[in-house]
Amino acid sequence: MLTHINEKGEAIMVDISEKAVTARTATAYARIRMQPAALAALLNADLKKGDGLAAARIAGILGAKKTSELIPLCHNIPLDKVTVTFEKEGDGALGIYVRAKCTYKTGVEMEAITGASVAALTVYDMCKAMGKDMVIEEIRLLEKTGGKSDYHDER
C-alpha cells in the first residue's frame, strides 16, 4: 500500500496524528567537486562574494527549516537543531554534512537531505566566479534514528 496515495490515486499528506512523539535525528551528506584554486579560496574565505562557508552554513540551516515548503507532501517539523559542517576531501572536493534533530511524530531525513542540497548549491553560487565546472556529485542520507526504524549507510 502506498502511503502518499489515496484510494482514488490522488497524492495525499500522510496522517501522523496517531504516531508517537519520539526523538529523531538524521544526517545527510553532499559532495561538491571543484578546481583546487576554488576550493582553497572557499576554505580561506577569500572569494569575491565573501565567506562562502558561512553563507553555505546558513543556507543549509534555512534549507532544512524550509523543507515542507519545497517538498510537497512533507510535514512542517519543529526542528530542535540543525548543524552544517564541512570537510575538505582531497585537493578538489568539499564534503558537506547536515544533521537535523527533532522530537516529533515523523522523521527529519528530508530536512537533512534538503539542507545538504541547499548548502551545496550555495557553495556553487559562491564559487562560480572561479569556474562554472563544479559538480555536485552526491547527495545521500548517512543515518537516521528514531521512529519505527534506524538506518545507517554502510558504504
Domain ranges of the chain: 31-146
Q: Are 139 and 120 in contact (CB under 8 A)?
A: yes
- pLDDT value at 62 more than 90: yes
Residue 97 β-bridge partners: 29, 85
Q: Are strands 135-145 and 151-152 parallel, antiparallel or unpaired?
A: antiparallel
Please indicate whether residue 15 is annotated as part of the active site.
Answer: no
**In this predicted model, which residue has the larger pLDDT, 35 or 73?**
35
pLDDT at 2: 63
- pLDDT value at 86 more than 70: yes
**Number of other residues whose CB lies within 10 A of the CB of residue 149:** 8
| CATH number corresponding to 31-146 | 3.30.70.640
Q: How far apart are CA 116 and CA 85, in angstroms?
A: 10
Among residues 80, 91, 125, 153, which one is catalytic?
125
Mean pLDDT of 26-48: 97
The closest of 69, 82, 77 to 28, measured between CA atoms, is: 82
Q: Are 71 and 114 in contact (CB under 8 A)?
A: yes
- pLDDT value at 1 more than 90: no
- pLDDT value at 134 more than 80: yes
- Residue 104's alpha-carbon distances to 19, 22, 66, 96, 145, in angstroms, are 9, 6, 16, 25, 12
- pLDDT value at 138 more than 70: yes
Identify the residue whose cell numbers are 544533521.
Answer: 99
Q: How far apart are CA 114 and CA 77, in angstroms?
A: 13
For residue 18, the surrounding DSSP H or E stretch is none
- pLDDT value at 79 more than 70: yes
Confidence of residue 30 (pLDDT cuts 50, 70, 90): very high
Rounded to two decimals, the pTM is 0.93
